[in-house]
Structure formats: structure tokens, C-alpha cells
Amino acid sequence: MMFRHTVAAFAAALAVAGAWAADEPVARPGSFADNPIVYFVVTDRFANGNPANDGSYGRTREPRPQDDIGTFHGGDLAGLTQKLREGWFRELGVNAIWITAPYEQMHGWVVGGSKEFKHYGYHGYFALDYTRLDANMGTPAELREFVATAHAQGIRVVFDVVMNHPGYGDIQSLSEYVTEPETDKKRGMLWKGYEAATLRDYHSWIDYNDPAWLQWWGPDWIRSGLRGYTEGGSDDLTKQLAFLPDFKTESPKAVGLPPFLKKKADTEAVELPDTTVRGYLVAWLSRWVREYGVDGFRADTVKHVEYASWTALKEASAKALADWKAANPKAAVDAAPFWMTGEDWGHDTTRTRHYDIGFDNMINFDFQRRADARGAELDKLYAEYARALAAPATHNVLSYISSHDTKLFDRKALYDGATALMLAPGGVQIYYGDETARPDGPAANGDPQQSTRSDMNWAGIDAALLSHWRKLGQFRARHVAVAKGRHWQITAQPYTFARVHAEDRIVAAVGAAGRVTLAVGDVFPDGTRVRDAYGGTSATVAAGKVTLDADARGLVLLEALP
């Protein structure tokens, strides 16, 4: 049965919009938690705002594109700030930017794929020092400038964070911080001549049985299978993902600083009394919030860290942000609390226990596989999501069509993919370059996801597609009803639906052609002036209907004018 509404309540709501100019739509964006529009960017692959930081720690690039997929390419925080100033994110309707973890990564490389490429930590998942900004990303001043510039535009900053594991023991970092004992044959656990290591013989330069490994993170901190360390387990909480060392976040044992950090002259890590591994990680990660006003975290590999650690991180970060906002009241976006979303592979729109232990939101893995739905299937998807997420639901998700961990959406179908995503109930994540038709990069047989992280195609932007994303994004940003409203189908041809929230309402049509008449009487009362936010035309509702000319793209996005 169609969900019906009294027009009187809506007319009363419109009456409060007197401050709006006559030709401006009534905007009801809702809270950020209800209507997140998050732009996810692999910072290193986006924009190079400060070439002076390229090649930090001696990092180098490879001449052939297929060999260069795992190196640092030069994107940085200064580049993000530059694009903020140009209005890139604001014009997309974005209200948060999720950046890859910017803290210091292992300095060198490890073997990537099937001995196919040199794999650096350009993506932020190979942490070395959680207390330092990676020099390839920029300086503390540049991070402050980026956060301040985003906040001034009402855009939040979200860090990717990893509590499950640090980075690998790469040859370069080990040569810098694990140097004893030194003999005529070895430097720590490295055989002399290690500087000549190649993809084919990399591991032969490392003695994995040498007791010098105890000078790395140490057995109190990680599972690694190395001599003197605990082997990784077989369950989700103790396994070593991709053979990475696994933090002992569940351990009740108080620990000191890892041995290598004691030798790292520029670290800002200090000994904390009676503190566990979890305590150190929480202190290090929440410090970014307290120091810089970071608004939220995207938590990596949620199911591989026990719930208590996520709760501790959320509580510490919430306090840190509250303290930062109290000290910087004019620099904050608003008074909203710290926000956290998480990645648990396969999670959908179901309200799971994650929302009770600190997560406000979860990545929705269900949407990408269904994003090419059309007509009845698209309505089925929207109706399902709206039932799960519409107000007064107390949880939300981020749906996406492309991801750094899965695949890019069909580049030939991005108009339809953008429409499906940006009109979906819940929150949305735009992956950098989906708005410009950024092509896949070179692929590695042993790590095909590397191709999804190609450089932003600034020299080859699809301007028409970008305009499409911008119209959809700005419309969504004005309307909490898109994210949290009750949904029902009005007609199947063209596919037309309504979303109605206590504070807001919209009608959208997909596949409209030429001059169309839409039945909107259950949403907008007679006499309401409405605007098509996509085509730019306006009309007045009469006899429960509105007639207008659809844009050539076949999309109509109706919103009320005061």
C-alpha cells in the first residue's frame, strides 16, 4: 500500500523557509551522521601540491608504469588543500573527505604481487610510526592547513586508521633502526650488501632466524612467527593478514615502547606508565584528533580487532575532539561528536553489534554488486535499504560503486552508477575519479586491486560526467530525505519515487524523456512551486501533478521552492 502523508504538515514545514530567496530550493541537509557524503581519496594518487616532498626517505619511482604501481607517486596534503580551494569537493556536495592514513609508513619497499612490483606504503596500511606524519604526505603545518580549509567549507576530515597491524619489516627501515649487532657479514638481521636487493632475491638478504628481530617491535607487541615471537593464530583476532605482524591489542600486559622506536630519534612516542599495546595505539591515534581536529575515523579490518579496542578508540577520540572543539570553537564545522565508520568485509545494511561498541556507520559491501540495477530491481534495492535505514533507524552505512579493495565500477556505465549511488538511501562514498572517469591502472597478477589506485586523471576529465555527479551531489547534500526518508515508488515508467522525512521530501524520476507529467500530490501539495535540480526548470503543482521538460539525461530531481 502506498505510504500517504497529509499535505498540511508539509505546508507548515515550508512556512519556516522564509529566509530563502525566491529562486532557491528549501534545503534540509540533516545531520552529518544521517546524510554523510564522503569522498574517499588515496592521497598519494590525487594531486601533487608540493613536489619538494616527493622521494622522502629515499623513495624512488620506477620508469615503466607496470613496475610503478606500488611506489609513491607524489600526491599529498598540499594537493588536497589546493583542490579544496578550487571548490572540487564543495561542488560535488561532499561533506567529508576520507584520506588514507597519513602517519609515517615503512620507509622502503617489500615484494609486491608475484614478485611483480616494489610495494611501498603509499596507501597508509604499512605503518612504521603512528606519531609522525609521513614526509611524503607533507608537514604538520600542511595538515593543519588542509583541516582548516576543509572545515571552513563545512567539510569534515576522516582518517583511515589501522589497529590490527603495523607494516612489514622492510629492508630500508630495518637498516635504519635495527643495526646491532654489526659484524663483517651482517647489520642486525640484514646480510651486508642488502642495498642491492631486487624483487627476485629480496628475502635472501634477510635472516629471519636472527635474534636481532627482537629489536624490532618485540614479542610483547606483535605476533609474527619470527624467532622469539608468537606465531599468528587461525582465528580472526590473532591471524596475520597477508603475513603482516598482528598487534596484541587483546593483551592485558603493560609494555614499554617497541625497541626500534626507542632508537628512532624523531619519534614523538614516549613511554606511558602501566599501558598495554591497545593503550598505546589508542593514545597515538586519538592524538591526531586532539592535535588537529580530525572529525572521524574509517577503521580498517574491524573484525580482526576485538570490540574492546574499538570502544576504547571511540571513547578516547570523542573526548579528544570535544577538547579540540572547546579550544578551537571557531575552527570546528559544528558541535557534532566524533564519527566512526568501519570496514567489516561483507557487511551490509543490517544493524549489527558494531553500532553498540562505537561505530556510527559501516561500509556497505552489498551495494556495489547491485549498483547496476534498473527499474523494478533498483526500486527493490531502494525499498530494502530505506526499510533498514530510514528514520528513526539508529544506524547508517556508506554505500559505494568503486573501491580500492574490490574493483572500479564499469567506466562505460558511470552515469547510471552515479545516479544509482547518489539517490540511494543511507550514506554514500564517492571513490576519487569516479566523477571524472579515471581509468584503471596497470594490474598485477598477484594483486589486481592495485589497478584501482591509478593517478587522478586531471588531464583527461570527462566534463559531462563530472557535471552529472555535481548535480546529484549538490541535490543530495540539500536533502536528508534522500538518505533517511521513507521510500515508495510512484510509477514504474518512468521510474519515479518519493522520499519523505519528517523535515524534508523529494521526488525523483529516472528514465524520463521529453515533456513529462509526474504525479506528486502525495508529496507536494497543490500550489507548491518545485524545481528540477537536474534540468534547472521549475513548475507549480496542480491537481496533484507537475509537468515539465526532462533533461536529455532522463533524470528529474524535484525539490520545493519557498
Which residue numbers are catalytic? 300, 343
Residue 134's Cβ-count burial label (10 Å; 0-12, 13-18, 19+) is buried
Q: What is the DSSP letter of 232?
A: P
Distance of alpha carbon 300 from alpha carbon 471, whole angstroms? 31
Our CA angle for 116, 117, 122, nearest 5°, is 150
CB proximity list for 550: less than 8 A, separation 6 or greater: 509, 512, 513, 514, 515, 516, 532, 535, 556
Distance of alpha carbon 14 from alpha carbon 467, whole angstroms? 29
Element (H, E) at 161: strand 156-161
The dihedral built from the CA positions of residue 367, 369, 373 and 378, taken in this order, carries a sign that is negative
Q: Cα torsion at 328, 329, 334, 335 (round to 10°)?
A: 100
Distance of alpha carbon 456 from alpha carbon 97, whole angstroms? 16
CB proximity list for 50: less than 8 A, separation 6 or greater: 76, 78, 79, 138, 142
Q: Angle between the 307-327 and 277-292 helix axes, to the nearest 10 degrees?
A: 30
- Nearest by Cα to 313 from 434, 161, 117: 161
Contact 289, 324 (CB under 8 A): yes
Distance of alpha carbon 442 from alpha carbon 461, whole angstroms? 19
- Written as nine digits, the cell of 28 is 534540509
**Alpha helix segments (H runs only) across 210-359:** 259-263, 277-292, 307-327
Distance of alpha carbon 320 from alpha carbon 482, whole angstroms? 32
Q: Alpha carbon 70 to chain centroid distance?
A: 20
Say which residue the cell 584528533 belongs to.
Answer: 289
The dihedral built from the CA positions of residue 101, 105, 108 and 110, taken in this order, carries a sign that is negative
